[in-house]
Amino acid sequence: MKKYSIKVQQPGEVSKKDEQLAWRIASMASQDWGLVNEISEMVGNRIIDNAGVAVAAINREAVKIARSQAMQFENDQGATLIGLDHNKKFDCQWAAWANAVAVRELDFHDNIMAKETCHPGDCIPTILAVAQQKNCNGEELVKAIATSYETQLRLSMSIALNPNRIDHVGHLGPAITSALGKLLKLDTETIYQAIQWSAHTSIFTRQGRKGQLSSWKAYAPGLVGKNAIDAIDRAMRGDTSPSPVWEGDYGIIPILVKKDNKDLSIELPEKDELRAGILKTFTKEHSAGYHGNSIIDLAFNVRKKIKDFKQVKKVNIYSKEYTHIVMGSGSNDKEKYSSLASRETLDHSAMYIFAVALEDGEWHHEKSYSDERKNRKETIELWNKIETFESEKWNKKYYDEPDPLKKAQGAEVEIILNNGEKIFDQLDFANAHPSGKTPFKRAEYINKMKPLFKDMINNKEDVRFLNLVENLAKLEPEEVKQLNISCDKNKINFDKNSIKGIF
């Protein structure tokens, strides 16, 4: 790794192109490097993970709408749509859009925990769609996906977006763009221009993740994916972009993300060095915001110590600042305590998540959020007894640790009973985390996927799909085009296709 300083340009100053962040990322993306099995396997794991959570979301509103839009753009030389027959192809830009919505909808796949938190697997639908349309092989696909993970990890370790109320897809767009440059073997100048266009069009406020949440969370990765494809296409045709997009005196860093971003630097792999950033990321076992996964597992542990949940008087959850203000009572979102709130709101409510996990001892991506489940009288009573608190102890365990894999993302809980008895427990890492009780490897990814496919796919479709993933880096272009999951067409709801929009 080589460390580079990120210097904000002063008014009237002209920075050298090869010292700009966009150029350094583009240079990294344009270099070649030798692929190793560990990286190929982890890329395959994330493709498996995405397939499972996307099929599980296939008939949710946002996914149906995005799919109905994409189906207006058939293209015999295009890309596949998750759930549809592999021989049906659509423009890669729209396939990327629809598939990214399906992958993100349930908030059920992987994460980066660094200075910025995000979901790097959101890159895969866009990269795969372009790979299918542009006849790329398996090795090219794997290297491109690894490049996106590397870029997003390095940006996330360097530039904080959330403290400035900017959404984390601000790093996803440039990451996908760098990957598409790698996929198509573009030169540094072309990738440089495209990254800046993408960075410029990937900045959104975090209101989309606060208050009454909508389907925006699901659509955001698809939107920046579409923008990335557009950025690459424009750059390939010779178009230029706002420069320097990050460091300019009117750029992203000085204008939009000043807080917590002084004395910035970034570490990037040098030529021939492995793009192994994906190995610093990890997936979820439970369908909830990642900061809630350890809270769910903590609830599973502590429930064994409580004989009667009606005897619970108060529950205090202590964790890092981010958990408290994003998922906890520190957000000041009344909706996080409301049974009328949307699923998108409740999967980011530590109070709701802990209450249901404590009562049920299990977590399900649909049942745990159903109208019946969230409206139970006893659950609402327990839910409103739960409060989160920022803890300096947990802040140090998370923010003072530079290694993304060693940051303690858990919490501790104090449960006060009516008789005055206090019950304590804590958990540093969710069970599925690499440092957790049951870290995910290939078998766990498959075991997570299979129940999500239940009653949705045709006979042995999962076997066909897994065989392709098993040989991912060796796939020929025609095999990459088959890297999709086809569902029983009678199980897919196409009701949104009957609605006429602009397309």
pLDDT tens digit sequence for 204-243: 998 877 766 678 889 999 999 999 999 999 999 999 999 9
- Percent of the chain at pLDDT > 90 equals 94
* The predicted structure's pLDDT at residue 212: 66
Q: Which residue has the higher pLDDT, 258 or 174?
A: 174
Q: Where are the alpha helices (DSSP H) in 237-339?
A: 252-256, 290-302, 321-322
Rounded-to-integer distance, Cα 221 and Cα 217, Å: 8
**Neighbour-count burial for 242-260, b at 16+ CB within 10 Å, e otherwise:** bbbbbbbeebbbbebbeee
Q: Where are the alpha helices (DSSP H) in 33-137?
A: 37-56, 61-70, 92-104, 124-133
* The predicted structure's pLDDT at residue 327: 95
Distance of CA 458 to the CA centre of its chain: 28
Q: What mean pLDDT comes out for the span 341-358?
A: 96
pLDDT band at 336 (very low <50, low <70, confident <90, very high): very high
What are the structural domains, with CATH classification, of the chain? 21-271 (1.10.4100.10), 290-427 (3.30.1330.120)
* The predicted structure's pLDDT at residue 214: 76
Quick one: tokens of 292? 């809630």
Instruction: Give 211's contacts (C-beta < 8 A, 6+ positions apart).
Output: 333, 335
Task: Judge whether residue 431 has pLDDT over 80.
Answer: yes
SS3 for 185-225, per residue?
A: CCCHHHHHHHHHHHHHCCCCEHHHHCCCCCCHHHHHHHHHH
* The predicted structure's pLDDT at residue 209: 72
pLDDT band at 259 (very low <50, low <70, confident <90, very high): confident
- Backbone angles phi and psi of 170, in degrees to 5: -60, -25
Rounded-to-integer distance, Cα 74 and Cα 179, Å: 25
Q: What mean pLDDT comes out for the span 141-167?
A: 97
Beta bridge partners of 2: 268
Are 336 and 349 in contact by the 8 Å Cβ rule? The answer is: yes
Tell me the whole-structure pTM to 2 decimals. 0.96
pLDDT tens by residue, 41-92: 999 999 999 999 999 999 999 999 999 999 999 999 999 999 999 999 999 9
Which of 90-104, 205-219, 306-320 has the weakest average pLDDT? Answer: 205-219
pLDDT tens by residue, 381-407: 999 999 999 999 999 999 999 999 999
Taking CA atoms, 372 is separated from 105, 107, 231, 369, in Å, by 21, 21, 45, 8
Rounded-to-integer distance, Cα 107 and Cα 218, Å: 8
